[in-house]
Amino acid sequence: MAPRSTRNASTYELQASLPHLPVPSLHTTLDKYLRSLESLVTKEELEQTRKLVHEFGKPGGQGEALQTELLQRAKEKENWLAEWWEQVAYLSDPTPNALFVNMVTGFGSFQDFDRPVSQARRAAETVRYTCEYLERLKRELVPPETMGGHVLCMNMFRRLFSTCRIPERPTDRFKRVDPVTIRHITVFCEGRVFVLRVYDADDELLTIGDLEVQLLHILRHSAYLNSLPARKRDADLPQFVGALTALRRDKWTETRQAMVEFDPLNERSLDKIESSLFSLCLESSTPGTPSELARQCAAANAGNRWFDKSFQYLVFANGMVGANMEHANADATVLQSMFRWLGERYLNRNGGYETFIESRHHSLEFLPPPELLRWRLSQEITLNTIPTALTDFQRDGSTLRMIVVRNKTFGKTKLRAVKLFPDIFVQMGIQLAGFRVFGRVVPTYESGHTRMFVEGRTETIRTVTSEVLAWLQMQDQPDADEAEVADKLKRAMSRHKEISLEALSGNGIDRHLLGLHIAAMQKTGSPPPLFTDPSYAKSGGGGNFVLSTSNVSGYPWLWGGFVPMLPHGIGICYGCENDFLSFMITSFDPSDRDQQLPGPPGPRLPRVTAAEFQRALFKAFEDIYALMERNHESLKPVCKM
């Protein structure tokens, strides 16, 4: 794929130039898969898997037949995997997406927590700047993104706004409305839902001042409703309906259908939420640290959310801002682009342009007040389903541990001075920390995107390699030759570069295996033995990665993350900036959920908290850097990506 200039190109102008996602060679993928197992399974298990791979891939065997199905599908679709990935990885999963699937992010420097600002003002800015970004998308003024000179797919930007996940079985679906036709957002406050028009009668965006007036009205009206004694409260204004989106998907499907059938009013209110440009949640809490903010965004106040929206902002009483994002609809790299725009507008909000948009009406006398959505719910939903949803979410959320932290010792500038590529440095640190706290290598997922292809999403980078294990086994040996340790680390880093580039170029392992698995299920109704083999789960297949990692770099004002795949796993989202490395690290405390999701077979792993892993990780960075600093003159640059 030759690099192409995006100068002066409109947002979607270069989509037609993007190549289609390739279907990798069957035997190449099977060989890579076997190589990926070498450090994670026993010799006996590896030998058994070799036999299964041979049987699966033999001439005229099941693998070749399934590969033919994929090749035919690739001829018929722009992206042979995209629809399957969305359906199988996300929409058919009955797990509550609220806590276990959605992503979260926070905005602002750490010092911002010492400078509280008006909640209504910050919320108004957030709404205005996001709508400005929408207007840029409508006019296709957002330039196509690139990586290494290669154009990236922009299709996910088409569905950022006015998108909502709808619960159905056997799979959920998306309700996507053309945002050009929508003029409102939904605002959640004290568990109630307001419809707020963000365009005036002349179809101009409301100013920040006008939005602030409207949001103050919502805050005051919510406080008034809360002050009423229970006997005077309107039965059609129940609180915490949004908690229903935190239910298991099968239960939420059943409940939503019951709501629609019970009264047409509910369907209208649902439509207002689902079609809204996005949601805004006004929160009464005051998180004092980034870690507290992260927890509030991920695991608190379910009754004041709608977890199925493409994205929803959370603005807290002290002016802090975060967001909760539904993952099936879009990946972090796309949302990050919009949030970067938001951050840049925040930082430049005192400029002349800001004065122009400050206020036009500035009074409810000229603006229609926000509409408070009404519901008519059965007693079963009001008295049982909503309270259960709140209780279950609080129970599961209470086990989540989240740490947001910066390592100011290292950054891109310092690392490159000793020929270290920052992403690989972090990944090697994660491996060393994991080896030390778990006592062995564990299956590790690094997310790599495939947006160089039309409708591209992600691919797994299997970080644990034979080269990584060879280095780890020598790293902490007191009598090891340091030059040899450094050489083994260099080999591990070089190997990581190779598999990363393979993933980005559409030649990874896991998405191809997934396609073969889905094709088999559609054809025969049962998975090939290759996918029920213990080695598949022990290496992370089927969602069994103990360490889930993702690099979201490029804007120091932004940080975010996700929960681990497994109850005993660790989630690590990081950013590599010039002067620091930023992290959100997550873990779960032991709970009843451990028995529901036991994880991969093999020796039981020790329970490691986010805080323990963070300490081990930062120590690993120090050790790796010291080793490479002492030996870097004899090493070639590890890689350029």
| pLDDT greater than 50 at residue 352 | no
Nearest to 85 by CA among 573, 533, 512: 512
Query: Where does a domain end: 352, 379, 398?
Result: 398
CA-CA distances (angstroms) from residue 226 to 301, 314, 378? 16, 20, 22
Instruction: Kindly give the interhelix angle for 482-504 and 466-475, rounded to the nearest 10 degrees.
Output: 150
* Rounded Cα–Cα distance for residues 131 and 304 (Å): 22
Whether 567 maps to a domain, the answer reads yes
* Rounded Cα–Cα distance for residues 481 and 439 (Å): 22
28, 463 Cβ separation under 8 angstroms: no
pLDDT tens digits, one per residue of 559-616: 899 999 999 999 999 999 999 999 999 999 987 656 554 445 556 889 999 999 999 9
Whether 124 maps to a domain, the answer reads yes
Q: Quote the pLDDT of residue 2.
A: 47
pLDDT tens digits, one per residue of 451-486: 999 999 999 999 999 999 999 999 999 999 999 999
Q: Quote the pLDDT of residue 507.
A: 97
Give the domain range for residue 120: 100-398
User: Confidence class of residue 366 from pLDDT cuts 50, 70 and 90?
Assistant: confident
User: Confidence class of residue 123 from pLDDT cuts 50, 70 and 90?
Assistant: very high
Q: Which whole number is the average pLDDT over 210-231?
A: 93
The token duo for 150 is: 């290669």
Q: Supply the DSSP symbol for 206.
A: P
Whether 83 maps to a domain, the answer reads no
80, 453 Cβ separation under 8 angstroms: no
Residue 365, phi then psi, degrees to nearest 5: -65, -30
Whether 122 maps to a domain, the answer reads yes
The token duo for 569 is: 């796993």
CA-CA distances (angstroms) from residue 502 to 81, 128, 350, 510? 17, 41, 45, 12
User: Confidence class of residue 132 from pLDDT cuts 50, 70 and 90?
Assistant: very high
User: Confidence class of residue 292 from pLDDT cuts 50, 70 and 90?
Assistant: very high
| pLDDT greater than 90 at residue 327 | yes
Residue with tokens 């989240």: 402
Residue 595, number of CB atoms within 10 A of its CB: 8
Angle at 248 between CA 242 and CA 252, to 5 degrees: 55
Q: Quote the pLDDT of residue 312.
A: 98
Q: Among 20, 221, 327, 361, which one carries the catalytic annotation?
A: 327
Q: Quote the pLDDT of residue 640.
A: 46
Residue 627, number of CB atoms within 10 A of its CB: 18
The amino acid that residue 280 corresponds to is L
pLDDT tens digits, one per residue of 153-212: 999 999 999 999 999 999 999 999 999 999 999 999 999 999 999 999 999 999 999 999
* Domain identity same for 421 and 515: yes
452, 1 Cβ separation under 8 angstroms: yes
310, 163 Cβ separation under 8 angstroms: yes
The token duo for 508 is: 């990874």
Whether 91 maps to a domain, the answer reads no
Q: Quote the pLDDT of residue 633.
A: 61
Whether 414 maps to a domain, the answer reads yes
The token duo for 256 is: 């939503």
CATH of residue 163: 3.30.559.70
* Domain identity same for 165 and 246: yes
* Rounded Cα–Cα distance for residues 194 and 196 (Å): 6
* Domain identity same for 552 and 599: yes
* Domain identity same for 297 and 363: yes
User: Confidence class of residue 543 from pLDDT cuts 50, 70 and 90?
Assistant: very high
Kind plus residue range of the DSSP H or E element containing 391: helix 386-397
| pLDDT greater than 80 at residue 109 | no
For every residue of 103-126, DSSP letters joined together read EEEEES-GGGGGS---HHHHHHHH
Nearest to 466 by CA among 39, 156, 28: 39
Farthest-apart Cα atoms in the chain, separation: 80
Q: Any bridge partners for residue 447, and if so which?
A: 460
The token duo for 127 is: 């709404």
Greater pLDDT, 596 or 324: 324
User: Confidence class of residue 358 from pLDDT cuts 50, 70 and 90?
Assistant: low
Q: Which whole number is the average pLDDT over 317-341?
A: 94
551, 449 Cβ separation under 8 angstroms: no
Q: Quote the pLDDT of residue 117.
A: 80
* Domain identity same for 284 and 309: yes
Radius of gyration of the chain measured on its C-alpha atoms: 25
Q: Quote the pLDDT of residue 3.
A: 46
The token duo for 225 is: 């409703």
Q: Which whole number is the average pLDDT over 517-528?
A: 96
* Domain identity same for 622 and 509: yes
The amino acid that residue 272 corresponds to is K
Q: Which whole number is the average pLDDT over 317-323?
A: 94
Q: Any bridge partners for residue 313, and if so which?
A: 280, 323
pLDDT tens digits, one per residue of 390-427: 999 999 999 999 999 999 999 999 999 888 999 999 99
Q: Indicate the range of 102-106, 233-237, 296-300, 568-572 predicted with least confidence.
A: 233-237
Whether 92 maps to a domain, the answer reads no
Number of domains in the chain: 2
* Rounded Cα–Cα distance for residues 432 and 328 (Å): 31
* Domain identity same for 392 and 412: no
Query: Where does a domain end: 398, 432, 453?
Result: 398
Catalytic status, residue 327: yes
Greater pLDDT, 232 or 507: 507
| pLDDT greater than 80 at residue 438 | yes
* Domain identity same for 533 and 514: yes
Long-range contact pairs involving 289-294 (C-beta distance under 8 Å, separation at least 24)? 289/113, 289/404, 290/106, 290/110, 290/113, 290/404, 290/405, 290/559, 291/402, 291/403, 291/404, 291/405, 293/106, 293/113, 293/320, 293/322, 293/404, 294/104, 294/106, 294/322, 294/402, 294/404, 294/561, 294/584
CA-CA distances (angstroms) from residue 627 to 10, 270, 549, 621? 47, 58, 24, 10
Q: Indicate the range of 136-150, 231-245, 283-297 predicted with least confidence.
A: 231-245
* Domain identity same for 306 and 411: no
Greater pLDDT, 481 or 556: 481
| pLDDT greater than 70 at residue 5 | no
* Domain identity same for 526 and 579: yes
Alpha helices in 401-551 (DSSP H): 412-417, 422-438, 466-475, 482-504, 510-524, 529-532, 534-538
Q: Quote the pLDDT of residue 489.
A: 97
CATH of residue 431: 3.30.559.10
* Rounded Cα–Cα distance for residues 429 and 451 (Å): 27
User: Confidence class of residue 364 from pLDDT cuts 50, 70 and 90?
Assistant: low
Greater pLDDT, 431 or 352: 431
* Domain identity same for 155 and 304: yes
Query: Where does a domain end: 364, 398, 432?
Result: 398
* Domain identity same for 129 and 26: no
CA-CA distances (angstroms) from residue 532 to 36, 90, 107, 459? 17, 21, 43, 21
Start-to-end Cα distance in the chain? 15
Whether 393 maps to a domain, the answer reads yes
Q: Quote the pLDDT of residue 354.
A: 42
The residues, any chain, with a CB within 8 Å of residue 603's CB and separated by 6 or more, are 440
Tally of residues, the chain: 641
Q: Which whole number is the average pLDDT over 329-349?
A: 86
| pLDDT greater than 60 at residue 301 | yes
Instruction: Kindly give the interhelix angle for 290-299 and 386-397, rounded to the nearest 10 degrees.
Output: 140
Q: Quote the pLDDT of residue 533.
A: 97
pLDDT tens digits, one per residue of 21-80: 999 999 999 999 999 999 999 999 999 999 999 999 999 999 999 999 999 999 999 999
